[in-house]
């Protein structure tokens, strides 16, 4: 989890994730390119790629059924590199996986960054809502 916290920017950006570990998920959705959690104690958290620079298009996707994980306990999160994709519109298309661990198994979000080659990278953050 230490690596994930550093990837989340450390400090206040990681506090929301640390405080959410062990909580039961009562709501989960992908909205506005962020993964939104609601927990059974009423607290909320979102995970998003907060590294937007000019000349980029950033978005998040998943093929997993998020509804399956409602009622599960959040155990952790980690990021994993993914291969770049050739992109004719922007020139570069990078992908990073965000793997969320629960007591029902894990699900994977893909964070995308389409850019002109001068920008890039990812800055996944956890924010209490």
* 34, 54 Cβ separation under 8 angstroms: no
Residue 95 has pLDDT above 90, yes or no: no
Q: What is the pTM of this model?
A: 0.81
State the pairing for strand pair 124-128/105-115. Answer: unpaired
The pLDDT confidence band at residue 129, using thresholds 50, 70 and 90, is confident
Confidence of residue 54 (pLDDT cuts 50, 70, 90): low
Q: What is the pLDDT of residues 6-20, one digit of tens each?
A: 445 455 557 889 999
Q: Which residues contact 20 (CB under 8 A, 6 or more apart)?
A: 37, 39, 43, 45, 74, 126
């Amino acid at each position: 989890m230490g690596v994930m916290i550093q990837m989340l920017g450390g400090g206040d950006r990681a506090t929301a994730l640390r405080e959410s570990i062990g909580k039961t998920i009562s709501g989960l959705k992908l909205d506005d390119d962020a993964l939104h959690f609601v927990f059974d104690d009423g607290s909320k958290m979102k995970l998003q790629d907060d590294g937007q620079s000019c000349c980029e298009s950033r978005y998040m996707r998943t093929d997993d059924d998020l509804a399956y994980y409602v009622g599960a306990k959040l155990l952790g999160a980690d990021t994993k590199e993914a291969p770049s994709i050739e992109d004719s519109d922007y020139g570069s298309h990078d992908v990073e996986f965000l793997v969320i661990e629960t007591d029902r198994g894990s699900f994977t979000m893909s964070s995308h960054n389409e850019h002109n080659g001068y920008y890039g990278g990812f800055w996944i953050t956890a924010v209490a809502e």
